[in-house]
Amino acid sequence: MKKSSSARVRSEVRGKGQVTIPAALRKAARIDEGDLVELEVTADGILMRPLKTIEASQSWFWTPEWQAGEREASEDITEKRTTRHKSSRDFLSSLKK
């Protein structure tokens, strides 16, 4: 959800402390059924943050080292520090040089 978003809704606290998050807010915050949320008491009230779990087989992608490489690659693409090859043969021959 964007920080500038200022949607305000009211929701009733039900038995066992349950609160319904309206569909529009769930959609904006990308909260799906079964997702975890983190709750924190702040000076302004209660802050709720959606938490997304990462499948174990994909956790390598989110390591600091891999993310640094992703940022570097994205910067190279943005700055046009890349080479486009016409074929896989051209690509492989460029590796030999």
Do 37 and 69 fall within a single domain?
no
Question: What is the distance between the alpha carbons of residues 37 and 26, in angstroms, rounded to a whole number?
Answer: 11
Do 46 and 62 fall within a single domain?
no
pLDDT tens per residue across span 1-31: 445 456 788 999 999 999 999 999 999 888 9
Question: What is the distance between the alpha carbons of residues 97 and 92, in angstroms, rounded to a whole number?
Answer: 9
Q: Which domain holds residue 37?
A: 15-51
Percent above pLDDT 90 for the chain: 72
Residue 96 one-letter amino acid: K
- CA–CA–CA angle 17, 21, 27 (5° rounding): 155
Q: How many structural domains are present in the chain? A: 2
Return the biggest CA–CA distance within the chain.
Answer: 70
Q: How many CB atoms lie within 10 A of CB 97?
A: 4
pLDDT tens per residue across span 44-53: 999 999 998 8
